[in-house]
Amino acid sequence: MIYDYKTILGVISVVIGFIGYIPYYRDILRRRTKPHPFSWIGFGLLLSISFFAQLVTGAGAGAWVTGISAVGVFGIAILSIYEGEKDITTFDWICFIGALLGIVLWRLTSNPLTAVIIVTIVDAIAFLPTYRKGYLKPQEETASLFAISVLKYAIGIAALATFNLTTVLFPLSLVITNGAFVSLLLLRRRKLGTLSP
């Protein structure tokens, strides 16, 4: 019976995740949202790594949200190359190179927990260009995607078949970083007087 419950939660997290991408894609195509390509390329690589690490360590239905997110994020990464942020700074390059070095470091380890710790740190580094852009241009991000991400990853954690640091750490970090980003966007929009979705 517990697996039926976990499967239902896994499906719910995937559906919520899928729905969350719709307004983000729409806003990119309307040129209202301009994702930072360095962050989204990094996110796609890291979600893929985490998904496979979760599968290997028995995450079950709780890993589904990570897998579907990797697909959605790679789509955003592709669009961001054409429609995304063009103001790339030295700071962004440092973060991107740091994220890529972290991925190389991950490849050198055969321990799933070490891989997830590295991926969690690298994801936070990959998020920094988007945080910088969100602070400077909060109206160019669709906050709903990040808010929905908090919900989908929280449900994904509840759907995990196995609870251990390897399966929980990365999705928990995504709940925290996405939630913090939503707060940043809302505070900056309020300060600048540009409240929008």
Segment 96-101 shows an average pLDDT of 82
pLDDT tens sequence across 25-40: 999 999 999 999 988 9
Residue 122 belongs to a domain: yes
Segment 105-120 shows an average pLDDT of 79
Segment 48-54 shows an average pLDDT of 79
pLDDT tens sequence across 62-91: 788 888 999 999 999 999 999 988 888 898
Question: How many other CB atoms are found less than 10 A from the CB of residue 190?
Answer: 11
Token readout for 94 is 């440092």
pLDDT at res. 194: 64
Residue 50 belongs to a domain: yes
Separation of alpha carbons 77 and 147, rounded Å = 19
Instruction: Supply the pTM of this predicted model.
Output: 0.83
Token readout for 61 is 């239905």
Tell me if 181 sits within 8 A of 131, measured CB to CB.
yes
Residue 21 belongs to a domain: yes
Residue 197 belongs to a domain: no
Total tally of structural domains belonging to the chain: 1
The most confident of the ranges 51-60, 136-145, 187-196 is: 136-145
Residue 111 belongs to a domain: yes
Q: Domain containing 139: what range? A: 2-192
